[in-house]
């Protein structure tokens, strides 16, 4: 006998979307790890994104992007990186011009780079791909490139896109995949001069990872079509600037020669310095990956040994190339950091995969990890005590402190660690490595988060060298407020809202980022100090290098100049390293102590004087800003 379902029976038989149960058991640890990597990347990249003002190069790119979005004229510099400028133009067309929008493009490119690691699981293994995603999210260099409106983040994302599409094409060659790979190569070249360096490195790594697979000869035409189609389409801004393709080739290759090849080897030590100071976690994990590939290849997932060897080779070659031609900039450092991220992912995946997590969660393994932490802390404290130089009167107290540390803290902890290690059912090396990685990971996370801090002076952070100081942003805001207070009702066709009637003169040598921030002032003039024709109207504000102020003001003496920091300087120990002292410090407890402190606070013994700019205000404006006691100075 058939039973006809009523409306209520049908509702019970097919629960709605809101009534369905969520099966949390279907979630895998791998999926949780990818979500955690994405959240970690968002946290580190978005926190305090706009606290630092735009740098000079960032401001030039943002200005060109705004000009392209509004139909204006872009600078000659725009043709060295058309993809960056066009991406900025699209963002500003959609959301309007601001620092946050200018940095939105690299942030999204940074997220895209993490997403592009997902398809690499097929070649490097699930654990290695997830490990690389976590390391890419943590890497201070990658975090910095994702927070800067420049080519660095797009260079990384473009390299990974070329790698993924090339591997896919070599495994399943079709005409469509060949065209897509060529298009990705074109995008990489359009990111900037270093794209010409990154493309052969990435292509060589992809071919080596694919092993014996080779593209068909007829696919070369597809690669060429995709490459030329993207280059011509984007370099001409969708065919609106017919001469863009030739200008791109000339400007990009010219910049490659001037900025990188002609100065090859200049400040070669900056790349190794950044790797040791900011990317030590990657170096350690790359060594672990090398050990696994050379000594224990059988512990790697099936079919991943060849790609792992290719990635290690890419890391070595990329580090050498970045050292020679990368220059002292984050985009150049990424030539070495990106393959190290992949190599570190291989090492992290092998290390984590070799741990018996059941024993860790049951207590013995966790107790051993805690003991390793405490032993490491005691050892570090002992080194710090040895590295201190007590006065003669305090020497007895110093010896007593050292004896207590060694006899009552370090030795008992070391014995407890050894005792716990013998009770483990697995080799202790994996858990020791886990403890070390947690410490290094915490230091790396701290470094990445502090890149956005402006309330703490960190003169020894190499990634921040050349960045515009926060003082620039504060004084730009003061100028805008002062102009709004005095000229709110001075409205005309060029300034319909009023408040921007100040006449401002900028020194051409340091015009950016001031020109970007003061773009709403119609009476803004950029002049050359050698030809200071400032116009008939005396300027309200002059911003120039201190040595150029007399030439720009001429006979006008009713002005008050004040110097302020413009950019973060290079510390003397970075500009001219003392190699003898560095080698001797490897065995000096005092130097080891200083280095461990430096990893956290980035303080240097001899800070450098920053490059300064002179803010020159008319005397009556200076009295409003500085107070009535301001004395007029004749420059």
pLDDT tens, residue by residue, 596-613: 888 888 888 888 888 999
Mean pLDDT for the chain? Answer: 88
- Kindly compute the dihedral angle of the four CA atoms of residues 454, 455, 461, 465, in this order, to the nearest 10 degrees: 40
- pLDDT at residue number 630: 52
402 preceded by a cis bond (ω within 30 of 0) = no
User: DSSP character for 531?
Assistant: B
- 3 state DSSP class of 593: helix
Backbone phi and psi for residue 341, each to the nearest 5 degrees, phi listed first: -60, -45
Confidence of residue 19 (pLDDT cuts 50, 70, 90): low
Q: What is the token pair recorded at 326?
A: 């990368």
Per mean pLDDT, which range of 64-78, 219-233, 359-373 is the poorest? 359-373
504 close to 539: Cβ distance less than 8 angstroms: yes
Structure confidence by residue, pLDDT tens digits, 120-157: 999 999 999 999 999 999 999 999 999 999 999 999 99
Rounded percentage of the chain residues whose pLDDT exceeds 90: 56
Q: Is the pLDDT of residue 11 over 80?
A: no
Per-residue burial over 475-494, b = 16 or more CB atoms within 10 Å of its CB, e = otherwise: bbeebbebbeebbeeeeeee
Predicted local confidence at residue 557, as pLDDT: 77
User: Residues with Cβ < 8 Å from 165, sequence gap 6 or more?
Assistant: 177, 180, 181, 184
Q: Apex CA 565: angle with CA 461 and CA 271, to 5°?
A: 25
pLDDT, tens digit (0-9, with 9 covering 90-100), for 277-299: 999 999 999 999 999 998 888 88
CA-based nearest residue to 330, from 58, 99, 567: 58
Q: Which helix (H) or strand (E) holds 345?
A: helix 330-353
Integer Cα distance of 474 and 542 in angstroms: 16
What pLDDT score was predicted for residue 634?
44
pLDDT score at 161: 97
- Confidence class for position 8, pLDDT limits 50, 70, 90: very low
How is the chain split into domains, by residue range? 29-352, 354-455, 470-571+607-626
Q: What's the pLDDT score for residue 291?
A: 92
Average pLDDT rounded to a whole number, residues 238-256: 92
Least confident of 38-52, 178-192, 491-505, 556-570: 491-505
The three state secondary structure string of 426-460 is CCHHHHHHHHHHHHHHHHHHHHHHHCCCCCCCCCC
Residue 589: which of 436, 382, 413 has the closest Cα?
A: 382
Please give the residue that has the higher pLDDT: either 454 or 196: 196
Identify the band that residue 7 occupies on the pLDDT scale cut at 50, 70 and 90.
very low
d(CA 213, CA 74): 44
**614 - beta bridge partners?**
544, 563
Is 606 strand, coil or helix? coil
The answer to whether residue 533 scores a pLDDT higher than 70 is no
Cα separations in angstroms, 366 against 359, 370, 373, 573: 8, 6, 11, 41
Q: Measured between alpha carbons, how far is 348 from 285 in angstroms, rounded to an integer?
A: 6
**Cα separation, 437 vs 327, whole angstroms:** 29
Q: Is-contact 373 435, C-beta < 8 A?
A: yes
Sign of CA dihedral 97, 98, 101, 102: positive
166-201 exposure pattern, b = at least 16 Cβ within 10 A, e = fewer? bbbbbeebebebbbbbbbbbbbbbbbbbbbbbbbeb
Average of pLDDT values for 328-341? 94
φ and ψ of 142, to 5 deg: -70, -35
> If we measure between CA atoms, which residue out of 485, 526, 528, 481 comes closest to residue 503?
526
Confidence (pLDDT) at 215: 63
pLDDT, one tens digit per residue, over 181-231 is 999 999 999 999 999 999 999 999 999 998 866 667 778 889 999 999 999
C-alpha–C-alpha distance, residues 149 and 176, integer Å? 32
| pTM: predicted TM-score of the whole model, two decimal places | 0.90
Q: Quick one: which of 146, 121, 124 has its CA closest to 31?
A: 121
Given a cut of 60, whether residue 632 has pLDDT beyond it is: no
Output the pLDDT for position 579: 78
Residue 5 has pLDDT above 70, yes or no: no
Confidence band of 250 (pLDDT split at 50, 70, 90): very high
Q: 141 with 278: CB under 8 angstroms?
A: yes
The three state secondary structure string of 34-83 is HHHHHHHHHHHHHCCCCCCCCCHHHHHHHHHHHHHHCCCCCCHHHHHCHH
The 3-state DSSP class for residue 324 equals: helix
pLDDT beyond 60 at 443: yes
Instruction: Give yes or no for residue 66 having a pLDDT over 70.
Output: yes
H helices within 451-517, ranges in order? 470-487, 514-517
Q: Report the DSSP beta bridge partners of residue 617.
A: 541, 560
Enumerate residues 6+ apart whose C-beta is below 8 A from 94: none
């Amino acid at each position: 006998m058939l039973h006809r379902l009523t409306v209520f029976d049908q509702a019970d038989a097919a629960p709605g979307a809101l009534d369905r149960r969520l099966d949390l058991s279907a979630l895998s640890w791998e999926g949780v790890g990818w979500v955690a990597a994405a959240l970690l990347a968002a946290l580190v990249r978005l926190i305090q994104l706009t606290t630092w003002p735009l740098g000079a190069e960032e401001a030039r790119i943002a200005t060109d992007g705004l000009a392209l979005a509004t139909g204006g004229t872009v600078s000659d510099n725009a043709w060295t990186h058309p993809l960056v400028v066009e991406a900025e133009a699209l963002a500003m067309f959609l959301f309007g011009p601001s620092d946050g929008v200018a940095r939105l493009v690299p942030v999204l490119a940074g997220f895209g780079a993490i997403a592009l690691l997902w398809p690499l699981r097929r070649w490097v293994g699930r654990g290695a791909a997830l490990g690389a995603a976590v390391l890419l999210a943590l890497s201070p260099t990658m975090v910095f490139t994702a927070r800067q409106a420049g080519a660095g983040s797009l260079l990384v994302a473009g390299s990974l896109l070329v790698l993924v599409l090339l591997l896919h094409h070599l495994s399943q060659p079709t005409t469509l995949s060949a065209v897509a790979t060529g298009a990705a190569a074109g995008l990489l070249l359009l990111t900037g001069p270093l794209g010409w360096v990154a493309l052969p490195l990435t292509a060589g790594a992809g071919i080596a990872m694919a092993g014996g697979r080779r593209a068909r000869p007829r696919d070369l035409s597809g690669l060429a079509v995709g490459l030329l189609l993207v280059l011509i389409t984007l370099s001409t801004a969708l065919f609106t600037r017919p001469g863009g393709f030739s200008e791109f080739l000339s400007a990009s290759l010219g910049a490659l020669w001037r900025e990188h090849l002609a100065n090859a080897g200049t400040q070669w030590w900056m790349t190794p310095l950044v790797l040791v100071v900011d990317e030590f976690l990657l170096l350690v994990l790359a060594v672990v990956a090398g050990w696994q590939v050379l000594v224990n290849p059988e512990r790697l997932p099936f079919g991943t040994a060849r790609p792992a060897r290719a990635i290690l080779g890419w890391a070595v070659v990329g580090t050498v190339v970045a050292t020679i031609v990368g220059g002292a900039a984050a985009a150049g450092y990424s030539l070495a950091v990106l393959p190290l991220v992949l190599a570190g992912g291989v090492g992290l995946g092998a290390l984590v995969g070799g741990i018996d997590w059941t024993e860790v969660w049951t207590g013995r393994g966790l107790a051993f990890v805690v003991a390793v932490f405490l032993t490491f802390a005691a050892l570090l404290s002992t080194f710090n005590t040895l590295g201190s130089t007590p006065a003669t009167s305090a020497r007895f107290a110093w010896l007593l402190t050292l004896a207590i540390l060694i006899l009552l803290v370090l030795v008992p902890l070391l014995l407890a660690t050894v005792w716990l290690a013998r009770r483990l059912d697995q080799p202790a090396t994996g858990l020791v490595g886990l403890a070390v990685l947690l410490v290094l990971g915490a230091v790396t996370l701290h470094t990445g988060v502090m890149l956005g801090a402006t309330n703490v002076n960190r003169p020894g952070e190499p990634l921040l060298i050349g960045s515009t100081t926060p003082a620039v942003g504060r004084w730009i805001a003061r100028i805008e407020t002062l102009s709004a207070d005095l000229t709110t009702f001075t409205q005309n066709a060029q300034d319909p809202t009023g408040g921007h009637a100040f006449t401002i003169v900028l020194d051409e040598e340091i015009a950016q980022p001031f020109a970007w921030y003061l773009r709403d002032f119609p009476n803004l003039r950029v002049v050359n100090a050698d030809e200071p024709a400032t116009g008939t109207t005396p300027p309200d504000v002059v911003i120039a290098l201190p040595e150029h102020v007399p030439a720009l003001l001429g006979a006008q003496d009713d002005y008050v100049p004040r110097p302020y920091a413009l950019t973060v300087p290079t510390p003397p120990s970075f500009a001219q390293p003392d190699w003898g002292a560095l080698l001797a410090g490897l065995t000096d407890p005092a130097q080891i102590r200083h280095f461990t402190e430096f990893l956290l606070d980035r303080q240097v013994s001899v800070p450098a004087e920053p490059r300064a700019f002179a803010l020159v205000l008319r005397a009556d404006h200076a009295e409003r800003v500085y107070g009535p006691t301001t004395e007029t100075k004749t420059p």
